[in-house]
Amino acid sequence: MKISTLFFLLSVFWVNLGAAENSPAAAPTPPVKEKSLEEIAAQRWTEMNTERIAASADGKPVTLSEIRQQITPFLKEIRTKTGNDNDFNKAIDDLADEILNQIADRQLVIADFRNNMGKIPASYVDADIEDTVRRDFGGDRNRFVAALRTQGLTPLSYRKQIEDRITFEYMIGQIRRSAINVGPGSILEYFNKHQAEFTHKEVINFRQITINQ
């Protein structure tokens, strides 16, 4: 599910910035604190694409801002490791494609949990957030909220992220435990004892991942 067109503007922006860096120095001007390449690219990318939807998974939108947030920390590393702009653009495109798949798969897993099991208890989410406030901010909730704002998050949106993470980790844990504990013999034995559970009318279960061009 390639989304090259979604990152064309970002790639061009980086090329222009690289060309500007290699041009002859201009006449001295009063010192001004310049933003890093990552900051400029991230700001421009945010202005152009913050709320655009790149895809949807099981009816849940995947926005370009979600993809950008996960790509931004790797921009400098990718620039260092790639020899030219074409390689850089391809690396960005490949990473964006991988992240989109990961987000979509994650949303499908979370949706499956909520459809079949409900929601993670609120106390689990509360405990996780309190642990973060205590560990990373010395128990200062004001500092915690301020840090969220710098990331474009609110306490409510952050709470949603934590709930989704706990849900996903629980489901992955269940899958791993099942893979370890269930062998071919156990599967056959269970099937022989519960054949009625595997006999039912035909139904269609539909899961969809849609990519917006």
**How would DSSP label each residue in 144-209?**
HHHHHHHTT--HHHHHHHHHHHHHHHHHHHHHHHHHHH--HHHHHHHHHH-GGGG----------E
Compare 126 and 33 and report the one with higher pLDDT.
126
Beta bridge partner(s), residue 178: none
The pLDDT of residue 132 is 96
Name 105's Cβ contacts closer than 8 Å, sequence gap at least 6. Answer: 57
Share of the chain above pLDDT 70, in %: 54
State both tokens at 17: 């910035």
Instruction: Find tokens 């074409």 and name the residue.
Output: 86
The pLDDT of residue 83 is 80
The pLDDT of residue 22 is 47
Claim: this prediction has a pTM higher than 0.85 = no
The pLDDT of residue 31 is 54
Nearest 5 degrees, angle CA 62-CA 113-CA 162? Answer: 60
Range 205-211, long-range pairs (CB < 8 A, 24+ positions): 207/58, 207/108, 208/56, 208/57, 208/58, 208/59, 209/1, 209/55, 209/56, 209/57, 209/58, 209/104, 209/108, 210/55, 210/56, 210/57, 211/1, 211/3, 211/54, 211/55, 211/100
Look over the chain and give the mean of its residue pLDDT values, rounded to a whole number.
72
pLDDT beyond 60 at 199? no
User: Going edge to edge, which strands form the sheet with 209-211?
Assistant: 60-63, 53-57, 209-211
Question: What whole-number distance in Å separates Cα of residue 174 and Cα of residue 120?
Answer: 14
Compare 141 and 18 and report the one with higher pLDDT.
141
Q: How confident is the model at residue 24 (pLDDT cuts 50, 70, 90)?
A: very low
pLDDT beyond 60 at 19? no
Compare 106 and 200 and report the one with higher pLDDT.
106
In this prediction, residues 68-77 reach a mean pLDDT of 84
